[in-house]
Structure 1
Amino acid sequence: MCVGYVATVTMMPSYRSYDKIYGKWYTNAWMGNVDIPNDKKNQKMPPFVIKPISANKIEAKLNLKKNGRCEEIKLILQTTNEPGKMVTWGKQIVGLLNMKVKDNMIIYMEGKMNGKNIIMMQLLGRNSDVNPEAFEIFEEFVRSKGQDVTKIIKPEVEADCIPGRS
């Protein structure tokens, strides 16, 4: 157990610091209470790219194989007046948590989806190898949100595909 994880996970200090999150990221671990079919929970995940699209919006994009075809999936995040917090789909709050472990961060989302309270969190890394210290901090973060760490999934990495192709 990582003692003092609160000291090692902090909200990103301001929008000006968001330039540190731009670029390619890998989902090293994730968990949530969203309804995902069991056969999809352990699906391989490709890396995704975060980039600025305007002064107050960023985009997270990945190319995911669905039904035998490669599809581009984009998520637009709008900044708020609260440092480290963004909004997507008009309602879901997304927290970007900076970690003291270099090249790692946590993305945390909670809100309502189809009338259900949802919570989802991801441990992201600049490479596909899971940093043990970052993972330990992620486990403590999951616990702090009242979630079961045994439900954390460490997805395998899938090679990036080209949208529109099989």
Structure 2
Amino acid sequence: MKSLLLTFMLLGLVAILKAQEVPSDDQEDYSGTWYPKALIHNGSLPCNKIPSKVFPVKVTALETGDMEAEIIIWKNGQCHDIKVLMKKTDEPGKFTTFHGKKFLYITELPVKDHYIFYCEGHHHGKSYSMGKLMGRNPEENPEAMEEFKKFVQHMGFREENILVPELKEHCVPESD
């Protein structure tokens, strides 16, 4: 289940997928901070694995062309810092992580600085798929949310499974 939760949070990392391509002068730099805005899953995610709080994701391009993402997972009232390596593939916009067990895809939206990150994989013999709306800034964007809803519909997800978790700038553990 830890792997599934990490994968769910990993979706925030995929914004930088295109950064693995050879950069050109007019290509945007995907390194930096990304903000999760909405999440969707195919219904296979247990309620206790759905994040109620999310945090900005910091992405760094590596010399190899791969990416490293620093994510924070909120679990049992505690912050957990995790670094995840995203390996580029031969297919543009497709990456692997967790030793090739998970596939990550990116779709750029027509709304500036907004992307949909999509993940497919298996956990305990069950397949799952999830998507995340990510942006360069933390502000809500109704136009980006409408594009995300179109994606949800196109992928056959149920719109009632769209989640808008609380975005926190910093992780502060709960006190007893």
Shorter-chain TM-score category?
0.7 to 0.9
TM (normalized to structure 2)?
0.76
Deviation track 1:106-139 (CA, whole Å, cap 9, x = no partner) reads 1101121221111010000112222111111111
Aligned pairs (5 A) from 1:28-47: 28-33=37-42, 34-38=44-48, 41=50, 43-47=52-56
Give the 3-state SS of the residue equivalent to 1:123 in structure 2: strand
Does residue 155 of the first structure (1) align with residue 161 of the second (2)?
A: no
76, 89, 114: which one pairs with 1:67? Answer: 76
Deviation track 1:25-55 (CA, whole Å, cap 9, x = no partner) reads 11100011342325x5351111111111342
Aligned-partner residue type, residue 16 of structure 1: V
Q: For residues 166 and 29 of structure 2, what CA distance do their matches in structure 1 show?
A: 25
Aligned pairs (5 A) from 1:1-166: 12=18, 15-16=21-22, 20-33=29-42, 34-38=44-48, 41=50, 43-89=52-98, 90-161=100-171
Q: For residues 114 and 56 of structure 1, what CA distance do their matches in structure 2 show?
A: 31
- The verdict on how the C-alpha distance between 1:137 and 1:43 changes in structure 2, with shifts beyond 3 A counting, is same
Aligned length: 154
Q: For residues 47 and 132 of structure 1, what CA distance do their matches in structure 2 show?
A: 19
Pairwise CA distance, 1:159:
2.8
Give the 3-state SS of the residue equivalent to 2:128 in structure 1: strand
Return structure 1 stretches of 4+ with deviation > 4 angstroms. Answer: 11-14
Deviation track 1:66-96 (CA, whole Å, cap 9, x = no partner) reads 3343320222210011111111121221101
Which consecutive residues of structure 1, in runs of 5 or more, have no partner in the other structure? 1-10
Kept in 1: contact 2:20–2:67 (CA 8 A): no
Aligned-partner residue type, residue 30 of structure 2: I
Please provide the CA RMSD for this pair: 2.6
Q: For residues 57 and 19 of structure 2, what CA distance do their matches in structure 1 show?
A: 23
- Aligned-pair identity in percent equals 35
- The verdict on how the C-alpha distance between 1:69 and 1:151 changes in structure 2, with shifts beyond 3 A counting, is closer
Give the 3-state SS of the residue equivalent to 1:112 in structure 2: strand
Kept in 1: contact 2:104–2:118 (CA 8 A): yes
